[in-house]
Structure 1
Amino acid sequence: MTAYKALSTEKTGLNIPPGTLLKMKIEGIDIPIKIQASLVGMVKNEYILITHPTPLATTKPKLYAGNGIIAQYQDGSDICVFGVKIIDAIMKPIRVVVLEYPDKIIRRKIRSES
């Protein structure tokens, strides 16, 4: 049985270094494609900045304020998942997406092959 831990981010914050690859599911995209973005930065308890998710043609129409995103990344031997809403998608001068800062993060140990 896999153990899950739901951790509050209010005091500890997210411990994700810039450049971390995020695998994503975007609300309204139901086709089985690989959607990825990289973490650009964040302000604790305020917002997260990510690169524009790829593939661009598929994700661009769904990047609007209030739409939901579920992001997943690997932290050592844990898989971490959080769900947030989009605040804004900026196209110029650079393509970045501003996300809400998550209230909690779910961590799960990666099963080791025995």
Structure 2
Amino acid sequence: MAEDPHMTLQTMLILRVLLSDPARRRYGLELCERTGQHSGTVYPILARLERTFGWLERHKESPAEHLAEGRRARYYYVLTEEGAVRARAALDRAERSRAILNLRTATP
């Protein structure tokens, strides 16, 4: 597994939503709505967090869940225990770095 993902603003937004309730499973379009990002941004980030970094687990819902609602099956994403720990640490580092940069640019 790679160290940590590049912490773009888009990645940070997704991780914040996931970390707001780490045990809750969320589907991609829900993350799009919660972060205000397009699916073409969200799904590649989810794929990297799952496949490259191992921070997420992806599960397809059972037919009983989606057929009862008359829709296609969803894939749900949930942080792994290690993924939640590493995501919090990566967000903390990124936010500290941003704060330092803001201080440097704000100083005359």
- For the superposition of Structure 1 and Structure 2, which TM-score range results when normalised by the shorter chain? 0.3 to 0.5
Normalized per residue, the structure richer in strand is 1
Larger Rg: 2
